[in-house]
Amino acid sequence: MKHRYLASLLLAATPAAVSAQTAGPASNPVSELVVVAASPLPGSNLERDKAPVETYVVTARDISRTGPPDLLNALNQQVGGVNLDSAAGNPYQPTLFYHGFEASPLQGTSEGLAVYANGVRLNQSFGDTVNWDLIPNLAIDRLTVEGSNPVFGLNALGGSLNVQLKTGFTYQGGEADLSGGSFGQVQGDVQYGAKVGNTALYVAISGLHEDGWRDLQSSDIQSLYGDLGWRGERAEAHLNVTLANSVLNGPGTSPVELLAADPAAQFTAPNKVSNRFAQISGSGGYQLSPTTSVQGVVYYDNFRQLVVNGNSANDTPCDDGSGLLCGDSGPSTTLGGATIPAFLGDSPFAYSELDDQTTNTDGYGVSAQVVNTDKLFGLTNHAVLGASYDGAQTDFSGISFIGGITAVSREFVGPGVVIDEPGDNVPVHVGVTDNYYGVFGSDTLNLTPELSVTASARYNVADIDLKDMNGGDLTGAHSYSRFNPAIGLAYKAASWVTLYGGYAEANRAPTPAELSCASPADSCSLANFFVGDPDLKQVVAHTFEAGAHGGFQPFAGATLSYNLALYRTDLDNDILFVNSVTQGRAFFTNVGRTRRQGVDAGARLVTDRWQAYVDYAHTDATYRTSFVESGGSNPAADGDGNLAIQTGNKLPGIPADQVKLGFDIKATERLTLGAMAVGQSGTFLFGDEANLTPKLPGFFVLNFYGSYQVTHNLQVFGRIENVADTRYYTYGTFSPTDSVFLSQAPTASNPRSYSPAAPIGGFGGVRFTF
């Protein structure tokens, strides 16, 4: 593929999209694209054959292959080493794993991937979380998945995801999609791009509603993205606006005996997350000379989140006949220290707890870099030098209520009584100031036309200040810094093969959420109600990686491409959210060393009329340091209620083996048909870090899709997901079945708790282009 370096910050390496993003062989497989990002800022693109790390590039066509644009499903179905789980039980709130590292919207997750869009960091400052529902899928032009590279800053322990959004220079024309189907799903998408002279405009608007396939499961998502651009002979500038709103109800996990009685049942409710996001950013680039350019980004955003989480009660009637409620430390108290009477009687099953939290974050930042391609010692060279600053002001508050519970759906009944129990569960209000600084550089020197060496590094500084607005002991200042180097080689041994290998270091600083919940005595729920705690150590990754990729023509009119990658990443001072002795609560702690190592292998065959692909990934994720944690509701805990995790035990939730298959064919000039399948082996349950109970079962799921081009401007499309109606689960843990009465399964005693995936579903729609 021909490519060139532009002065623009927003370099686009794919052709302008002026027609429907149709599924079919015309779309290149993701491993075929030959440019990757040398830094988070666009404009520093490097030939893939020069990059010493594993890379995948997913295009707008790949994201829309089976219907409306869906980034997460495209990654899950088409990129080796990626898998999704759904702890929240909502399809738009998954945790994404790549090589065993996570990018998740859920607090309590150890975030090991850095995520960017148009050069702006998407990991939220409060917990490094990634809210996938806020990314405008329709506006994505391309996304690069890359192995560990310190240039991508904090959280790039296992790699990075770098999203490039469309502009009026890369997309001209218009498109309107309307689709719907099973589970009450209705979706509409409209995009339009135009270029007039030196200026260009792009707008994308999307809306989705889905009722879901489980009780109290629903999703409502709306987004708007706009780009106004100007391009001159030597300069380019863009103004971007992103608005997003979502209300996601996820039933979470349910005990297996409850699911056996009613597959749609949820355990406790409500479980709602409401997100609002607004961002404005400016970006630009200037060509100082034929070999030197500068790029920059400045942004401001506001993120507001409300989490409402119903749980089994920690405060139940005292057993001393006092007529009061008792918690772990004695009689339960409310505001002012007053005791709480057992106002619903003496049955512990009459009570439930509601945890509310609100997060309001103002984020802002600026990044700049210089790219130079002057020769060095007479050799071709590509150098990048840059700096970044990301800041945030966060106002967080949390409060818990004790109230009643409905008999069948197990929903909290309010208004409830505020719980205020010092040392256990208190209302909190904390202000957080984050300042993250980075200086980075990368240099790729071609020792010969075939052999290149890349050296890169980044110095990270993280300053985190917490102020307890209620006058408690949350106030504290924390600072972290580290220099992370990397070096690698890439060798194009023949026209059909490139070999590469390298070593990289990366780090992540403890988040405000982790720093404020870091001791067994002062644990917190997933709603993150904090107490003052000591510093945690920063997590440091050491990665070795080697592999090969290439392609050739096995016969006329066909291209076979392939990739093979081996990697090992050792983490020092890994931070995990481990069980507390208090039911339903946990705390963050450094657990020592962990390791993720494995192999990815894939091949794709593309002809003019059909294509097929296969990807296999093996991931071995283990603890390398022994430690002890509370067993929570795990029935395999020892007599003291603890689990002893040993060196070599597997990390939960990470499948050892995955396989992905796909095939589509242009059956006629108008009709395209295809199929995709994903299979993965079983995983240990979260809460079974000692690997003492059976694994969550593995699964194999098959999907069909197709499209028919009615006219040049009108297309109909459809898909069937989970064709065999396989009952499978993507996440498992343990729930306290003895603390909540299950009317559908009154004798339930098994604490194993799963998050069911969707049953068979049919979807269809129409796409109009102009």
Give the tens place of pLDDT for each residue, 232-283. 999 999 999 999 999 999 999 999 999 999 999 999 999 999 999 999 999 9
Q: How far apart are CA 305 and CA 301, in angstroms?
A: 13
CA 49 – CA 680 distance, rounded (Å): 30
pLDDT at 14: 29
Q: Which pLDDT band, with edges at 50, 70 and 90, does 17 fall under?
A: very low
Asked if pLDDT for residue 23 goes beyond 50, the answer is no
Of 464-468, 490-494, 581-585, the least confident: 581-585
Return the DSSP state at 620. Answer: E
3-state DSSP assignment of residue 232:
coil
Q: Taking residues 322-349, report their average pLDDT.
A: 93
Report percent pLDDT > 70 for the chain: 92
Closest CA to 276 of 309, 241, 306, 240: 306
- Over residues 373-413, the pLDDT tens digits come to 999 999 999 999 999 999 999 999 989 999 999 999 999 99
Q: Which residues are CB-neighbours of 709 under 8 A, at least 6 positions away?
A: 20, 22, 669, 670, 671, 715
Q: How confident is the model at residue 585 (pLDDT cuts 50, 70, 90)?
A: low
Any idea which of 28-32, 375-379, 628-632, 699-703 has the lowest mean pLDDT? 28-32
- Asked if residue 526 has pLDDT above 50, the reply is no
Residue 46 has pLDDT above 80, yes or no: no
Residue 534 has pLDDT above 60, yes or no: no
Write out pLDDT tens, residues 717-727: 999 999 999 99
What's residue 576's pLDDT? Answer: 83
Q: Which residues contact 606 (CB under 8 A, 6 or more apart)?
A: 25, 28, 29, 32, 558, 559, 560, 561
pLDDT in tens, 613-622: 999 999 999 9
Token pair of 73, please?
């499903």
Cα–Cα distance for residue pair 12/57, rounded to 1 Å: 12
Residue 531 in this model has a pLDDT that exceeds 60:
no
The string of pLDDT tens digits covering residues 111-145 is 999 999 999 999 999 889 999 999 999 999 999 99
- Write down the pLDDT at residue 409: 92
Q: What percent of the chain has pLDDT over 90?
A: 80
Q: Which residue has the higher pLDDT, 187 or 3?
A: 187
Predicted local confidence at residue 583, as pLDDT = 52
What is the average pLDDT across 700-708? 98
> Rounded mean pLDDT of 84-95?
94
What's residue 67's pLDDT?
A: 93
pLDDT of residue 582: 54
Q: Give pLDDT, residue 497.
A: 96
Angle at 584 between CA 582 and CA 587, to 5 degrees: 70
